[in-house]
């Protein structure tokens, strides 16, 4: 139940009073506003006004934390069967790729082979002309899970499962879809990356706009999350671009620190845009039927970053060496305890 006297209109006034009167919401304000939205206690006009006023102002860490807090509570109450599940790594995938193939998927497969359990949650089709993970999974005979029972089965079978946002929070999927009507992304596009529905000890966030690096990490700190790594990933996904230094912000032990993940190729050897974007090449490269210099480097760098995020290797060099070894032996039979 809302604690505000006149519902979400109170928060719309706070956000929209102009240069002299506007103020940001507190965590409690943002949480209450999001509860009203999730409980459908807003009109369409109020919903659009709230989302766009916050978007134009730019969300604060406190506002993101409050919105995420409400969404997490909503998801927990509507998905009780997920409570018994756990994973090592939470991997949101909502941006899609348009310049390079989603090489991060091969990084996920490598990590799962090494014993890391991973939940990927995402959505498809938010932006035309982009490739989403749901487009790739059929090539590898991996299902899109439509419920937590299927997630459990996939985690036991391959330590990796993908579930669409529409399967565990369909209303949030609808809110993301408002971009087609409003013409702009809303704070919901940030919040879905912060859901961590299985409460993994480590969560990776890929963002595109640099200001959101610190915002995500600071919001996670306010939510008392254990460990979050936010990267300026290629296209906004959790994927290291080996052509560029990758700005990364870590939340660990309550402290937020930044680090530039070093590029793997010098300026003169940078790779251009993939003009074909043929997703079958992901499968071919995985099987060793073809090669891709950029793709292999992106996979190894992304695996290295994930291993360091999990605290499994102390130095960058060790992380890269382990990731390269995983790639070299990706098709070998898995020997329990060998990796």
Claim to verify: residue 190 and residue 256 sit in the same structural domain: yes
pLDDT at 2: 45
Which of the listed residues 80, 105, 134 is the one where a domain comes to its end?
80
pLDDT for position 115: 95
Sheet strands side by side (includes 255-261)? 160-164, 118-122, 89-93, 202-207, 227-232, 246-252, 255-261
What does the pLDDT read at residue 268? 67
**Based on the domain organization, do 36 and 157 belong to the same domain?**
no
What confidence score (pLDDT) does residue 21 get? 76
Same domain, residue pair 107 and 244: yes
Q: Based on the domain organization, do 70 and 189 belong to the same domain? A: no
Q: Looking at the domain assignment, is residue 335 inside a domain?
A: no
DSSP state of 184: S
Mean pLDDT of 316-331: 94
Stated pTM of the model: 0.93
Give the helix/strand (H/E) hosting 62. helix 61-78
pLDDT-derived band at 336 (thresholds 50, 70, 90) equals low
Q: Rounded to an integer, what distance in angstroms lies between the CA atom of residue 263 and that of residue 36?
A: 44
| Residue that finishes a domain, picked among 55, 80, 105 | 80
Which of 80, 105, 138 corresponds to the end of one domain? 80
**99 and 239 share one domain:** yes
Q: For the chain, what is the domain count?
A: 2
Say if residue 286 is in the same domain as residue 240: yes
Do residue 34 and residue 100 come from a single domain?
no
* Residue among 249, 243, 251 at smallest CA distance from 301: 243
Question: Is residue 333 scored above 90 in pLDDT?
Answer: no
- Domain extent at residue 274: 86-328
Percent of the chain with pLDDT over 90: 79
- At residue 202, the pLDDT reads 97
pLDDT for 339? 38
In this model, does residue 172 exceed pLDDT 90? Answer: yes
In a domain, 188, yes or no: yes
Each residue of 224-267: pLDDT tens digit?
999 999 999 998 999 999 998 889 999 998 899 998 888 888 77
Q: Mean pLDDT in the chain?
A: 92
- Identify the H or E element spanning 185: none
Give the tens place of pLDDT for each residue, 30-72: 999 999 999 999 999 999 999 999 999 899 999 999 999 999 9
Which whole-number Å values give the CA distances from 163 to 11, 32, 169, 242, 329, in the listed order? Answer: 33, 27, 10, 28, 28
Instruction: Say yes or no: 175 and 317 in one domain.
Output: yes
Q: Does 101 lie in the same domain as 72?
A: no
pLDDT digits (tens, 9 = 90+) for 200-221: 999 999 999 888 999 999 999 9
When pLDDT is cut at 50, 70 and 90, the band that residue 312 belongs to is confident
Residue with tokens 């060998």: 338
Crossing angle (nearest 10°) for helices 104-113 and 293-309: 50
pLDDT surpasses 80 at 8: yes
Flag whether 138 is in a domain: yes
């Amino acid at each position: 139940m809302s604690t505000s006297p006149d519902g979400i209109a109170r928060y719309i006034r706070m956000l929209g009073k102009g240069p002299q009167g506007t103020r940001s919401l507190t965590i409690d304000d943002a949480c209450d506003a999001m509860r009203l939205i999730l409980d459908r206690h807003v009109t369409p006009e109020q919903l659009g006004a709230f989302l766009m006023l916050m978007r134009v102002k730019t969300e604060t860490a406190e506002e993101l934390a409050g919105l995420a807090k409400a969404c997490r509570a909503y998801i927990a109450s509507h998905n009780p069967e997920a409570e018994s599940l756990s994973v090592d790594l939470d991997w949101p995938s909502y941006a899609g790729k348009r310049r390079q193939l989603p090489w991060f998927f091969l990084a996920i497969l490598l990590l799962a082979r090494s014993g890391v359990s991973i939940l990927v949650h995402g959505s498809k089709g938010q932006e035309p002309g982009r490739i989403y993970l749901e487009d790739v999974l059929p090539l590898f005979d991996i299902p899109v899970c439509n419920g937590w029972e299927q997630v459990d089965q996939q985690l036991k079978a391959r330590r990796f499962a993908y579930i669409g946002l529409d399967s565990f929070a369909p209303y949030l999927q609808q809110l993301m879809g408002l971009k087609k009507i409003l013409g702009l992304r809303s704070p919901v596009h940030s919040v879905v990356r912060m859901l961590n529905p299985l409460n993994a000890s480590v969560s990776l966030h890929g963002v595109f706009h640099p200001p959101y690096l610190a915002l995500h990490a600071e919001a996670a700190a306010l939510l008392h999350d254990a460990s979050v790594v936010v990267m300026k990933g290629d296209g906004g996904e959790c994927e290291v671009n080996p052509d560029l230094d990758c700005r990364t912000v870590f939340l660990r032990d309550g402290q937020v620190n930044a680090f530039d993940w070093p590029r793997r190729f010098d300026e003169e050897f940078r790779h251009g845009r993939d003009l074909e974007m043929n997703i079958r090449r992901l499968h071919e490269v995985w099987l060793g039927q073809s090669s891709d210099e950029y793709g292999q480097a992106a996979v190894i760098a992304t695996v290295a970053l994930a291993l360091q995020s999990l605290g499994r290797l102390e130095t960058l060099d060790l992380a890269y060496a382990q990731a390269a070894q995983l790639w070299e032996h990706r098709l070998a039979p898995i020997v329990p305890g060998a990796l």
